[in-house]
Structure 1
Amino acid sequence: MTERATGLLRAWTRALFGSRARLRWLHLVLGGALLMPYWLAGTVVIGPIVGSDNAFTGSLPHQFGAYAVALPVAALTALFPPARPLSVAAARALCGVPGQLLADGPAHSRAARGRTSAWFTLHIGLGGLISGASLALPPFAVTLMLLPLSGAVREWFRAPDYPAWQLALFPFAGIAMLVALAACVAAAGALLARQAPVLLGPTPADRLAAAERRATELAERNRLARELHDSVGHALSAVTLQAGAARKVLDTDVEFVREALAAIEETTRRTVGELDSVLGLLRRSEGDEADEGTVATGPALDALDGLMSRSGVPVSLTAEGDRAAVPPPVSREAYRIVQEGLSNALRHAGARPVSLWIAVRGEELEITMENPLPSRAATVRPGGGRGVRGIAERAALLGGDAHAGPRGDVWRLHARLPLGGAR
């Protein structure tokens, strides 16, 4: 036998009797098991018509008539939404179909339910035929293979007196039956594997829902990234400045060093609390319910005085309107915008005075912040870094806008937040 013929034989053997073929056979047998209740109900309907009371000893018209009645009934029951997750789980485990090609979750749209019904009907229809053949053909094939070897088998089989050369053909006929059964199983399993992505794959509505879920997850990740950046970035900038100033006057101004260390302690303590809150959200498992109190936590405008006192830069605040009337979501985002603005001022201009205006006018909250530009223009980043981009994202999520850039000899940050953006 040539090498090519040997390779073809191995490929055919793997296709008919390999692990994938065996799993698909189990999948078909499962379909046959699922068909049984519908088939038994069909025998009750067909029995009086063909004049038989026993489905197992009835004629072939009785059994195939019950089969024909069972399939439409099964198709109707598969229209319920939970049918798709069960079918998908079985197809992923036994049919050899990549999981990403199949839909997740129940079928809610009419098109998805129709496809699931078609799949379920095809699965149990083929499964019933393959299961019946798997029960009937192997015993018959083994009997044929034993006919030339045992007179008792020939007597039980009531076989006529065949010539010896004819008896010698019966084992080959039995083997051919088993190979034909394996080929039918492989063909039926391959048909189900090809149809699974078509009938159990995601519909356009499923793809849209998955895209919305991914967008929601991405927005949540971006929000947490902004929280970490603003909170930790501001704390590190303030601590670095305070520590550097304390180091310079360590031997001459002990009182200033004491105040700087106290500010560092307060800043790091508060930041650790905020960091724990954000990390708690990151550790939350996907299936956990997130209530408003867990997700929407963090300092707001009422903590602005504490922020300015430990920011590391002198801040002059001009306020207009009632900050207490600002909705909590807008108030929290406004706090983060001010915090990031102070961090940028501290990072690029050092401990130089910052002017801050906060005004509540009608249905808007306006934030304006100005600080002198650093003496070395090269250190200024006109496009801003992640912090400036994060400020713009926070404002956009609330339906507002924010801009930052040089204006004359100052760096100016202006943000407009609609109070209705909390909704």
Structure 2
Amino acid sequence: MSAPLPLLRSLVRPLVRAVTYTRWLHLLIGSIVPLAGGLIYPGLSSPGPVDWLIAAALPVPPVAAVALVPSARRAEGLQARLMLFPGKHARVRGGTSADDAATGVSATPSASWTDRGRTALWLVFRMEAGLAAWLLSIWLLQCALELAGVGVEEPVLASLTPPSAAPFLAPLPALALLVLVVAGGRLDERVARRLLGPSVKERMAALEDRTERLLERNRIARELHDSLGHALTLAVVQAGAARAAKDPEFTDRALAAIEETGRSALEDLERVLLLLRETGRRPAGASPGLDEAARLLDSARSSGARVDADITGPVEDLPGPVSREAYRMLQEALTNALRHAGPVPVTVRVTADATRLRLQVANPLPDGRPPAAPGSGSGLRGIRERAALLGGEAKAAVRDGGWHVDVSLPLR
């Protein structure tokens, strides 16, 4: 008993959707051109099949020529979005990739001859399909009126239907017209997706835009991981050392270091949030570079680590991207040392020359045991990603009883 209900719903649902009838209207609008042309020639006072063929064929060249105008594709795309698809995107006047993904129809001017050719095919299809839909609609309405007993000038079923059965068959042409409305609208929508959909060039541009957004998100995620992870690690280590020392003077120094580290982390967080909000404002301060490495080293020392640092070469003259990424890589290497080994001796070597920057961070392992799954953490993965983006390489491994991070970056 319940089996026919889903089938009935699936049959009735399209008939109560507004988009079904806007699609049909969109299809019928295409018949205006051949009907107007047919009134001029060959004339539609008493047309025959040949007359309808002429009326359908004569407008094809001028209609296809309209597609040579680049804005024709945009006009057709906007109209298709408005009438063939439900939703708010129908009223969006841009041609963004998000709208294209929602409807499958582009609303940008033709950028190539392929776009013009597809637009020409669409215009011709819309005209011919609209004329066919109009003729079938008129014929089915005539059939319904004749079977219902309403007089028509040109009966089409008088010789085919017994007079006694005609009233019972009257609903059939009306149902056929409803099926035609639904099927014609869906055909119009599918052809629009095929011929007005984004071109290969537009798909590549959308893919590049999406890739850039993903790369930007990954970069922001790395910035948050490195800056906030470093700040929290230092705060935890310094707070633990202060509690263990039970020395008021040491506690004051630890609290001051925690305050400074937290302030720097808040500045980094504000800079990243400005990027995420896309407010158009420039961040208050630039990202720190390797010339500010002394701040990182002092923070590590304040946590109890014994840092032996040797920085040689003109690090203040490094290219901006290299300097900023090297700072973050040094920050993450120090954070890893403090997080996994505690306040142990850490050796930092930074060497810069005319062609390459080399960064080395080493620390002994706690109890001489290597960490589980060495090199698999998100921080070390971030170091490798940063190095790869700059054309360099980064390695992390256990060597000579210690944990070593080696980064090599080209400067050209």
Question: Which whole-Å CA distance do the structure 2 matches of 1:64 and 1:229 have between them?
Answer: 69
Question: Which whole-Å CA distance do the structure 1 matches of 2:7 and 2:353 have between them?
Answer: 77
- Mean Cα deviation higher: 15-24 or 398-407: 15-24
Kept in 1, the 8 Å contact 2:15–2:182? The answer is no
Partner secondary structure for residue 413 of structure 1: strand
Partner secondary structure for residue 363 of structure 2: strand
Which AA in structure 2 matches 1:91? L
Kept in 2, the 8 Å contact 1:402–1:414? The answer is yes
| Residue from 145, 148, 164 that aligns with 2:148 | 145
Partner secondary structure for residue 288 of structure 2: coil
**Pairing 1:190-201 to 2, within 5 Å after superposition:** 190-201=186-197
With normalisation by structure 2, the TM-score equals: 0.77
1:353 to 2:349 alignment = no
| Residue from 366, 387, 408 that aligns with 2:358 | 366
**Pairing 1:397-412 to 2, within 5 Å after superposition:** 397-412=389-404
Kept in 1, the 8 Å contact 2:26–2:84? The answer is no
Question: Which whole-Å CA distance do the structure 2 matches of 1:22 and 1:65 have between them?
Answer: 34
Where does residue 329 of structure 2 map in the other structure? Answer: 337
Which AA in structure 1 matches 2:19? L
Where does residue 130 of structure 1 map in the other structure? Answer: 133
**Pairing 1:13-412 to 2, within 5 Å after superposition:** 15=11, 18-19=14-15, 23-33=19-29, 36=32, 38-39=33-34, 42=37, 47=40, 50=42, 65-78=54-67, 80=70, 81-82=73-74, 83-84=76-77, 86-88=79-81, 90-93=83-86, 102=104, 104=106, 106=108, 108-131=111-134, 134=137, 138=141, 141-142=144-145, 145-147=148-150, 171=167, 174-201=170-197, 203-250=199-246, 253-284=247-278, 293=282, 297-311=286-300, 312=303, 313-379=305-371, 381-412=373-404
Pair member with larger Rg? 1
Partner secondary structure for residue 399 of structure 1: coil
Kept in 1, the 8 Å contact 2:349–2:359? The answer is yes
Aligned pair in 2 of structure 1 residues 92, 134: CA closer, same or farther (>3 Å)?
same
Kept in 1, the 8 Å contact 2:227–2:268? The answer is yes
- 1:169 Cα deviation (Å)? 5.6
Question: Which whole-Å CA distance do the structure 1 matches of 2:46 and 2:322 have between them?
Answer: 76
- 1:141 Cα deviation (Å)? 4.0
Aligned pair in 2 of structure 1 residues 42, 416: CA closer, same or farther (>3 Å)?
farther
- Kindly provide the CA deviation profile for residues 352-394 of structure 1, in whole angstroms up to 9, marking residues without a partner as x: 2322222221122221222223224154652241111110100
Aligned pair in 2 of structure 1 residues 27, 389: CA closer, same or farther (>3 Å)?
same
- Mean Cα deviation higher: 59-68 or 343-352: 59-68
Kept in 1, the 8 Å contact 2:395–2:406? The answer is yes
- Mean Cα deviation higher: 78-87 or 303-312: 78-87
Kept in 2, the 8 Å contact 1:237–1:347? The answer is yes
Question: Which whole-Å CA distance do the structure 1 matches of 2:121 and 2:107 have between them?
Answer: 17
Kept in 2, the 8 Å contact 1:103–1:206? The answer is no
Partner secondary structure for residue 93 of structure 1: coil
Which AA in structure 2 matches 1:385? G
Where does residue 151 of structure 1 map in the other structure? Answer: none
Give the number of equivalent residue pairs.
387
- 1:59 Cα deviation (Å)? 5.7
- Kindly provide the CA deviation profile for residues 279-312 of structure 1, in whole angstroms up to 9, marking residues without a partner as x: 332333xxx7x68x55994211232222221223
Aligned pair in 2 of structure 1 residues 220, 387: CA closer, same or farther (>3 Å)?
same
Aligned pair in 2 of structure 1 residues 296, 132: CA closer, same or farther (>3 Å)?
farther
Where does residue 93 of structure 2 map in the other structure? Answer: none
**Gap regions ≥5 residues in structure 1:** 148-153
Kept in 1, the 8 Å contact 2:368–2:401? The answer is no
Question: Which whole-Å CA distance do the structure 2 matches of 1:91 and 1:176 have between them?
Answer: 27
- 1:197 Cα deviation (Å)? 4.7
1:415 to 2:381 alignment = no
Partner secondary structure for residue 395 of structure 1: helix
Aligned-residue RMSD, C-alpha:
4.0
- 1:122 Cα deviation (Å)? 1.9
Kept in 2, the 8 Å contact 1:374–1:380? The answer is no
Kept in 2, the 8 Å contact 1:21–1:189? The answer is no
Question: Which whole-Å CA distance do the structure 2 matches of 1:297 and 1:41 have between them?
Answer: 65
Question: Which whole-Å CA distance do the structure 1 matches of 2:365 and 2:101 have between them?
Answer: 56
Kept in 1, the 8 Å contact 2:34–2:131? The answer is no
Where does residue 91 of structure 2 map in the other structure? Answer: none
Question: Which whole-Å CA distance do the structure 2 matches of 1:181 and 1:227 have between them?
Answer: 61
Partner secondary structure for residue 318 of structure 1: strand
Identity of aligned residues (%): 35
Kept in 1, the 8 Å contact 2:391–2:409? The answer is yes
Question: Which whole-Å CA distance do the structure 2 matches of 1:92 and 1:402 have between them?
Answer: 51
Partner secondary structure for residue 367 of structure 2: coil
